[in-house]
Amino acid sequence: MERPGEFELIARHFAPIAGPGGLGLVDDAGLLRPARGYEIVVTVDALVAGVHFFPDDPPGSIARKALGVNLSDLAAKGAKPEGFVLSLVLPKGWTEDWLAGFAAGLAGMATENGCPLIGGDTVSTSGPLTLSITAFGSVPAGRMVTRSGAKPGHLVLVSGTIGDGALGLKVHGPDKPGWVSKLDEAARAFLADRYLHPQPRLALAAALQQHASAAMDISDGLVGDLAKLLKASGIGAEIELDTVPLSRAVRAAIMADPALAELAWTGGDDYEILCTASEMEYPALAAAADSAGVMLTAIGRVTAEAGVARYSEQGTARGFVQGSFAHF
């Protein structure tokens, strides 16, 4: 069966999932109309086969992850999704069945989170599958939640559970370590799903905008990403590792191999929210999270010691060999 050309490919697989701002994907650009008094928040992430996902991962899962990691950034900024553009670099040998699965996964994630496709580009390459998504969100003017607003005395908080993505990568990957076989089927499935399908915490966006002093999403590991927030805010923190929320599956893995605790705290792919809030704002933020069905846990407190994060486990100081995932 002959594969479609670029314009037919776009018309067949992507035009049906485009929003009004995409102008039918027949123009040179998309169009966003923010409401009066609002600003646009922009975020971009590139994903490469063999680096951010396995080449044989389901195409729908690849698509959901590509958009999900961008939506996670918007959530951390307190932004409402408005749309996204996609650059898709297809390797030689791609099939239309693969592309149909990819488009279906993309459509599902876009529809579930109210973030329509408004444009993009599609090209071919002799290299690996590569895709880049730029997502746009809106916030009332001056209300975007930055990394730089944390103050001494504020609480350090995280959403959801930590370490699922990093351990999920091990469970899902081809070279499974021995501890994987010690987990039950439900735990293995849970961890693999958390790696494959990030869950952007958009339900927290409005509450973060109203009550958080600083926020970012956890993509490269709790320890490393906290260091970035501390640097941006010019502050320090004291973290009690015993309070870091862990899923049943991660706890079971640590029981099988205690060394995995460090991977849970430093590994990437969680896409949870790391934020700070004053004692005054915390109750309202916690109540909003509870109403949204998202667990929010206090794990420590901001200090005035700029750039210094002190970690303790069962009352004993704890350090880390490597703070987070790094590309370079």
270 is in an annotated binding site: no
On whether 217 is known to bind a ligand per the annotation, the reply is: yes
Strand partners, 137: 41, 81
C-alpha separations of 168 from 71, 128, 193, 245, 297 in Å = 20, 23, 7, 16, 21
Instruction: Check whether 269 is labelled as a binding-site residue.
Output: yes
The answer on whether 219 is annotated among ligand-binding residues is yes
Q: Determine whether 18 is exposed, middle or buried from the number of CB atoms within 10 Å of its CB (0-12, 13-18, 19+).
A: buried
Q: Consult the annotation and say whether 266 binds a ligand.
A: no
Closest CA to 116 of 133, 140, 131: 133
The reply to whether 318 sits in an annotated binding site is no
Instruction: Say whether 220 counts as a known binding-site residue.
Output: yes
Q: Is 80 helix (H, G, I), strand (E, B) or coil?
A: strand
Query: Could you tell me the CA-to-CA distances from 193 to 197, 199, 257 in Å, in that order?
Result: 6, 10, 21
Using alpha carbons only, how large is the chain's radius of gyration in Å? 20
Annotated ligand binding at 33? The verdict is: no
- Name the 3-class secondary structure at 244: coil
What separation in angstroms does the CA of 286 have from each of 20, 79, 291, 293, 298?
A: 36, 18, 9, 11, 10
Tokens of 11: 């018309």
Tell me if 134 is assigned to a ligand binding site.
Answer: no
181 carries a ligand binding annotation: no
Backbone region of residue 6 per phi and psi (left: phi > 0; alpha: psi in -120 to 50; beta: other values) = alpha
Q: What count of other Cβ atoms lies within 10 Å of the Cβ of residue 94?
A: 16
Q: How far apart are the first and last CA of the chain?
A: 42
Backbone angles phi, psi at 123, to 5 degrees: -140, 170
Alpha helices in the chain (DSSP H): 6-9, 59-76, 96-112, 164-172, 185-196, 205-211, 222-233, 248-256, 260-266, 282-291
Assign 209 to helix, strand or coil: helix
Query: Does 52 show up as a binding residue in the annotation?
Result: yes
What single DSSP character describes residue 49? B
Residue ranges for the binding site for substrate? Answer: 52, 269, 325
Residue ranges for the binding site for Mg(2+)? Answer: 28, 43, 45, 73, 121, 217, 220
Residue ranges for the binding site? Answer: 28, 43, 45, 52, 73, 120-121, 147, 217, 219-220, 269, 325
Residue ranges for the binding site for ATP? Answer: 120-121, 147, 219
